[in-house]
């Protein structure tokens, strides 16, 4: 297909988003907001019983590709991660395995991340945790965000929790970050004046060109996306969304980025870890 086709497709997508934004401006007072139950527990706009993984919005061929680990392209990164896991790095001369044991010992970790780290007094996702281990414990240089080695290690770790229920903690010291993430999720942004919630809570199930809008859950990341023809992190997907509404995305590893990921993980509570998931 020629360049003109893709320019036309991008224009059509922008028109759809503009129309969505315009249709929501007049009804913003009626937009659903995450609530608080009588016990003071946050509740999502989409009831827990109606939460749907992005897997359910995929074609049968994509679902089959994801579930068959012998044909799932994301498993190439799992294999690469296993090699890096046992490789000594930095001035310490230690590998990940020297401290943590075999990758299987990481079972359950991804299901509870992002997590508040009391010692560092910050929220960590798998990316920033790996980076801290490298720089502080291994005495190695940090890996470049979205680099193959970082994606391989985080995919390996997340894959160990395959099939486990997402269950992040948002209480105690993690609560301010959660509330910040909730605010960012519901905040209109960019020239198109759209929020995450307007697409993934108020408009899920509707069509955006050839795609059906999902509920925007991150339980399969890192994922292999056919559009990218490679594996990518949740931050890459968030960046794409921000740029689609013509807004500046939060920097990788920033407080806003991690707060938003924590909120997204909470929204996915009860869904299964699918890493590496396969999407369009």
Q: At what angle do helices 234-244 and 255-267 cross, to 10 degrees?
A: 100
Q: Give, in degrees to the nearest 5, the angle at Cα 225 between 211 and 246.
A: 65
Task: Choose the catalytic residue: 99, 133, 196, 241.
Answer: 241
CB 19 within 8 A of CB 11: no
Most distant pair of Cα atoms in the chain: their distance: 60
d(C-alpha 185, C-alpha 259), whole Å: 10
d(C-alpha 142, C-alpha 136), whole Å: 10
| Sequence-separated (6 or more) residues with CB below 8 Å from residue 190 | 242, 245, 246, 247
d(C-alpha 37, C-alpha 192), whole Å: 32
Q: Is 241 a catalytic residue?
A: yes
Per-residue b/e over 11-39, b at no fewer than 16 CB within 10 Å?
eeeeebbeebbeebeeeeeeeeebeeeee
Residue 271: asked if its preceding bond is cis (omega within 30°), the reply is: no
Q: Coil, strand or helix: which one is 170?
A: coil
d(C-alpha 133, C-alpha 120), whole Å: 12
| Sequence-separated (6 or more) residues with CB below 8 Å from residue 62 | 226, 278, 279, 280
Q: Which residues are catalytic?
A: 241
């Amino acid at each position: 297909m020629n360049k003109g086709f893709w320019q036309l497709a991008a224009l059509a997508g922008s028109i759809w988003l503009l129309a969505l934004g315009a249709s929501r401006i007049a009804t913003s007072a009626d937009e659903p907001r995450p609530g608080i139950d009588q016990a003071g527990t946050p509740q999502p706009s989409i009831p827990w019983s109606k939460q749907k993984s992005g897997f359910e919005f995929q074609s049968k061929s994509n679902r089959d590709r994801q579930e068959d680990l012998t044909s799932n392209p994301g498993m190439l990164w799992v294999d690469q991660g296993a090699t890096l896991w046992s490789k000594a790095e930095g001035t310490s001369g230690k590998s990940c395995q020297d401290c943590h044991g075999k990758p299987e010992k990481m079972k359950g970790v991804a299901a509870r991340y992002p997590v508040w780290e009391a010692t560092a007094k910050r929220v960590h996702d798998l990316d920033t945790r790996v980076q801290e281990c490298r720089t502080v414990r291994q005495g190695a240089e940090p890996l470049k965000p979205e680099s193959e080695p970082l994606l391989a290690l985080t995919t390996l770790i997340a894959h160990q929790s395959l099939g486990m229920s997402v269950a992040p903690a948002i209480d105690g010291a993690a609560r301010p970050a959660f509330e910040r993430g909730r605010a960012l999720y519901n905040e209109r942004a960019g020239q198109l004046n759209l929020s995450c919630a307007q697409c993934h809570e108020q408009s899920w199930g509707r069509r955006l060109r050839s795609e059906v809008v999902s509920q925007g859950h991150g339980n399969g990341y890192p994922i292999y996306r056919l559009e990218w023809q490679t594996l990518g992190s949740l931050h890459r997907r968030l960046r794409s969304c921000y740029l689609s509404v013509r807004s500046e995305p939060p920097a990788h590893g920033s407080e806003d980025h991690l707060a938003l990921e924590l909120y997204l993980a909470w929204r996915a509570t009860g869904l299964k870890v699918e890493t590496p998931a396969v999407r369009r």
